[in-house]
Structure 1
Amino acid sequence: MKYAFARLWTGNTASGLATWALPFILGLAVLERSLSAVDLGIVLATRTAGFLVAVPVAGVLADRHSRRQVVLWAGLVAGLATPLIAAGMGRSVPLMATAAAVVGIGQGACRPAFQALTAEVIAEDRRQQANAAMTLAVRVTTLVAPGLTALLAVVASTPVLVIGTAVLWLAAALIPPRGTFTPVPAAVKSRFFADFADGLREARRHPWFLAGLGALTAVIATGYSATGVVLPLVSRDRYDTEAVLAGGLTAYTVGALVGAVVIARWRPRRQGWAALIGLGCYGFAPLSLLLPVHPAFVIAAYAVAGLGIELFNVPWFTATQREVEPGKLARVSSLDFLFSYGLAPAGLAFIAPAIGEFGAVPVLAVCTVVCFAAPAAAALVPSSRDFRVTRVPAAPVNDRS
């Protein structure tokens, strides 16, 4: 099992690193003036569009077929399309945008498949530690990789760095282990929309999942988006230094690292409530930007937000893998990624004009209230207490026909 987990961890980490690295590397291309800021926005937008299209489709495919095969093809698609982004840099934005959309399809396809594959490879009593280890790798990557990428940029061109992410995608495709899931026989497979609707019905069987997903989506679409837009402005205008921006982002990642380490061992008595309290901690980030506090409070608030988000993420993923019917796990996980990741760009698109129209203070105030209130409302759903639906055993019957 340890060998299988090592392969799963390596593949998942490679896909996460490739996903994170591309926007950063293309940002270096903007600094080098080989790509304009507008062109960068177009390329990243098409990648997001590909992700959103692929996630629900991949959820169905990963429940119809081997999850390992879906990961394989998703990684190969992203890996083979990535060099075309490098080829189009400084020459053809349409080529870059098209290739980025294909990369987004590979990125979106692997997410629900990796989630379902984790449940196959890792025993239930070890999944929380496994999920914590995987999220820990992502956080370490985001903390260390910017400096490492900047150093690599000294000796390698930006197109070469982009091609390096293709190598990561190929690793994500080839390294993960096989799982134990047996797909539905071809003779009884149904149409895509029927399968997707079946996944929706499975999600509805778990009120804690719908409540938690609603809270997570609200926090990401408001608090995450608002702080992403406002933190640079506050750092510049209120504190007259970029150090608050750098300190806040670093503190968030460090807090998330600590959260991942804590939740790998901690088993709170009411796991669902503890996770939702962690999610609600994100409200301290917009609150710190709303108030004229010392910069140290802003940095501390971001550390608490990072800590809380991992105290939510790891139990959330673990509960989904435990509670959802194995044959529908990828479809339910695709809903998670579709709403939580998908509404982040929508939130950013809405927040910036709202700040321009109403000002930062009322927008931050609304986002703060939403970040605190949405998890609290989700906690009122009875099954949210433990992220588990209590099932009453059926009465015995003589005839099962």
Structure 2
Amino acid sequence: MRSQPPPRSRFAWAGRNYRIQTAATVISGLGNAGAPIATAFAVLANGGSTTEVGYVTAARLVPTVLLLMVGGALADRLPRHHVMVAANLFNALSQAVLAALVLGGHAELWQLLLLSAAGGAGHAFYAPASEGMLMQSVAKEHAARAFSVFRMGLNAAQIGGAALGGALTAVVGPGWVLAVDAACFVLAAGLRFFLEAEAAPATGDGGGMLRDLREGWREFASRRWLWVIVLQFSVLMACISAVEAVYGPIVAEQRLGGARDWGLAMSAYGVGLVVTGVLMVRWQPRRILLVGNYGVFLFGLPAVALAAAAPLPVLAAAMFLSGAGVTVFGVNWMIALQQEIPAEMFSRVAAYDHLGSLCLAPVGTALAGPAATALGLSGALWACAVICLLLSTLVLLDPQVRRLPRRAPDAPGAPEPQPTEPAAAGATAG
């Protein structure tokens, strides 16, 4: 009898680097999901106000924005896994010190600000390298499946991390949640140490970092669909950061059950992320950015529920739908970047993407308190919801956003810089 060849693994498309990076991201995501909840309630436990919660959140975002370009340039010149390991270890140290201060009852506002800023600095070097490594480890023909599975893993970690973070904050205090986050960073760094060095990008002909940044800017600015959406997210993320990092915990403290209920609401958000990730494994819409932006329309629902003083089940449903929208957008966005951006430019373009998307987030969180004072808490939340809806509508006025098609794996490469209006994708999306 002829022997049958062994069956291929269902995940044969997932290479070693992809598996390691996904596992490490899940581990660090578990800690990261609970850390913002713990930090916000650490400020409140010290008698801090809404404004001070916003300042601590902004303190993390400001160095992220300022250092992203340096992080992106380094990630396209150095082995990306080395950059990620160093950033993870730096974040582990800053979170461990913060945990020790909170547990010891000696955390003053200036210390929370400084250590939050340190965490943001580490993220500025980690994020562009991480995105470049993930893009490089996935074959284009498996991109939709790979990105969906990756986001499912990350989002499942968000569910568990948010629920655990909220519960631990309520039961044993925020310090232990921050300690868990530090440990997760150490474990993630240990895994990423074993990423294969062959995935590191080529460094080109030895030009300086400023030239690298100019090349990345030309790549970014030459695609209107790219900078239009990043401009949309610059304002969108300011509103979302204010809602999730400042207003949500305040509403939970005043009207719901405190950290526990806010953790449950964030878990519902994570469930929406994961459930929709299962759908995105098989769903391959033709017009990727058009369909992705449909998901953005759901981003403002949590602000609506919080503004309307909705009970926890309604808030959880709004968070679930918002999470679903994030996955629909996120998977399609990653596919667009992979198919349109040259591999050697991934990290620099990702840095401009992150920079543009986050540049106003510190402003949003810093102004969250004054806005709530001027408009009332409900008024500020309604304003965030309306802005999210308007931005989601306005971005669809751009034809490149509406028409960018999914390309076949063997199709010609990315379009030339400064393209004209792209051709229609044929069938309607989906």
The TM tier, using the shorter chain, reads 0.7 to 0.9
The alignment's C-alpha RMSD in Å is 3.7
Contact 2:57–2:365 (8 Å) recurs in 1: no
2:71 alignment counterpart: 58
2:229 aligned counterpart, secondary structure? helix
2:292 alignment counterpart: 275
1:190 alignment counterpart: 208
2:130 alignment counterpart: 114
2:26 maps to 1:17: no
2:7 alignment counterpart: none
Alignment match of 2:98 (pick from 85, 96, 110) = 85
State the Cα distance separating 1:141 from its structure 2 match.
2.3
Within 5 Å, give how 1:2-401 maps onto structure 2: 2-26=15-39, 37=48, 44-89=57-102, 90-91=105-106, 93=108, 97-149=113-165, 162-176=178-192, 177-178=195-196, 179-185=198-204, 188-192=206-210, 194-222=211-239, 225-226=242-243, 241-242=256-257, 248-288=265-305, 298-359=315-376, 363-387=380-404, 391=415
Contact 2:232–2:391 (8 Å) recurs in 1: yes
User: CA 1:373 to 1:269, structure 2 compared with 1: closer, same or farther past 3 Å?
Assistant: same
User: CA 1:351 to 1:171, structure 2 compared with 1: closer, same or farther past 3 Å?
Assistant: same
Q: Which moved more, 1:5-14 or 1:373-382?
A: 373-382
Q: Deviations over 1:49-73 (max 9, x none)?
A: 3323332210111112221221122
C-alpha separation in 1, matches of 2:38 and 2:332: 32
Code of the residue aligned with 2:371 in structure 1: it is: A
Q: Deviations over 1:347-370 (max 9, x none)?
A: 133343233223456545543333
Contact 1:260–1:310 (8 Å) recurs in 2: yes
C-alpha separation in 2, matches of 1:147 and 1:293: 20
Q: Deviations over 1:232-267 (max 9, x none)?
A: 677788xx6549866654433322222222222211
C-alpha separation in 2, matches of 1:46 and 1:257: 30
User: CA 1:148 to 1:282, structure 2 compared with 1: closer, same or farther past 3 Å?
Assistant: closer
List alignment gaps of at least 5 residues for structure 2.
Answer: 1-13, 406-412, 418-430
- When normalised by structure 1's length, the TM-score is 0.80
List alignment gaps of at least 5 residues for structure 1.
Answer: 394-401
1:188 aligned counterpart, secondary structure? coil
State the Cα distance separating 1:175 from its structure 2 match.
1.6
2:208 aligned counterpart, secondary structure? coil
Identity of counterpart residues, as a percentage? Answer: 24
C-alpha separation in 2, matches of 1:291 and 1:78: 37
Code of the residue aligned with 1:311 in structure 2: it is: V
User: CA 1:182 to 1:229, structure 2 compared with 1: closer, same or farther past 3 Å?
Assistant: closer
C-alpha separation in 2, matches of 1:392 and 1:86: 49
Q: Deviations over 1:151-194 (max 9, x none)?
A: 77899896665444333223322323225344224x532243x3
C-alpha separation in 2, matches of 1:349 and 1:112: 25
Code of the residue aligned with 1:101 in structure 2: it is: A
Q: Deviations over 1:206-253 (max 9, x none)?
A: 21111211222332223553476555677788xx65498666544333
State the Cα distance separating 1:113 from its structure 2 match.
0.5
Higher helix share: 1
Contact 2:100–2:175 (8 Å) recurs in 1: yes
- When normalised by structure 2's length, the TM-score is 0.76
C-alpha separation in 2, matches of 1:183 and 1:13: 27
Code of the residue aligned with 2:187 in structure 1: it is: A
User: CA 1:68 to 1:295, structure 2 compared with 1: closer, same or farther past 3 Å?
Assistant: closer
C-alpha separation in 2, matches of 1:91 and 1:230: 25
State the Cα distance separating 1:313 from its structure 2 match.
1.2
Contact 1:209–1:387 (8 Å) recurs in 2: no
Code of the residue aligned with 1:225 in structure 2: it is: A
User: CA 1:131 to 1:341, structure 2 compared with 1: closer, same or farther past 3 Å?
Assistant: farther
